[in-house]
Structure 1
Amino acid sequence: MINVNEYFDGAVKSLAYTTADGKSTIGVIESGEYEFGTSTHETMVVIEGELIALLPGEQDWKTFTNGQSFEVPTNASFKVKTSGQSSYLCKYK
């Protein structure tokens, strides 16, 4: 079953699915800055565009582009911002 998720008044949309490797979402983020919380470990892979992330415990924003990834631990919050539409794959552990 594919589930549709929508956040921040439609500025972030994703499709959730499950494979033999586990649960994942693939989504698109509009220009802006957003804060997310995690309930499980997440690995975010930028598919297209650029995500600038402020990760838990960090003071500086880091830029991630096509094919690059970052990880966020369970029960943490992180911020991302982008200046244009960007797409991502999020894998949950």
Structure 2
Amino acid sequence: MDGFKNVSVVKKANVYFGGNVVSRTVRFEDGSVKTLGFMQAGEYTFNTAEAEVMEFMSGELEVDLPDRREPLVINGECTFEVPANSSFSLRVSKPADYCCSFVKNK
């Protein structure tokens, strides 16, 4: 999906890691929430309260996920899931464009 219809966007940006990771919250009519963001090169660790589906549209990075022994290597497009109440770490070598979908009750 290249775009979203019938959504509202929160004007205030979510800014992490000194501005190296920035996202915008998108709310859907059915109550679901996604964030659209961009990561500069760097190393980041995120904690999850809810399960998440991370979709990368571009970038080069390695991701350490709680359910994998080896890092997930991404060069361009990739989608992966992150369990609720966990954390994941990323080592971004080329800027990355992403969409994070929050999954209720998973």
TM > 0.5:
yes
Higher radius of gyration, 1 or 2: 2
Aligned equivalents of 1:88, 1:81: Cα separation in 2: 14
Q: Residue 12 of structure 1 corresponds to which residue in structure 2?
A: 21
Q: Per the alignment, in what secondary structure is the counterpart of residue 9 of structure 1?
A: helix
The TM-score normalised by the length of structure 1 is 0.90
Q: Residue 5 of structure 2 corresponds to which residue in structure 1?
A: none
Aligned equivalents of 1:71, 1:11: Cα separation in 2: 22
The one-letter amino acid of 2:69's match is Q
Q: Residue 75 of structure 1 corresponds to which residue in structure 2?
A: 85
The one-letter amino acid of 1:7's match is Y
CA contact (8 A) 2:61 2:94 kept: no
- Equivalent pairs, count: 93
Q: Which runs of 5+ in 2 are unaligned?
A: 1-8
| 1:89 Cα deviation after fit | 0.3
The one-letter amino acid of 1:49's match is G
Across the aligned residues of Structure 1 and Structure 2, the Cα RMSD in angstroms comes to 1.4
> Which aligned segments of 4 or more residues in structure 1 are displaced greater than 2 angstroms?
64-67
| 1:68 Cα deviation after fit | 1.5
The TM-score normalised by the length of structure 2 is 0.80
| 1:20 Cα deviation after fit | 3.3
Q: Which runs of 5+ in 1 are unaligned?
A: none
| 1:18 Cα deviation after fit | 0.7
Q: Tell me whether 1:59 sits opposite 2:69 in the alignment.
A: yes
Aligned equivalents of 1:25, 1:51: Cα separation in 2: 19
Structure with higher RCO (Cα < 8 A, 6+ apart):
1
Aligned equivalents of 1:51, 1:26: Cα separation in 2: 17
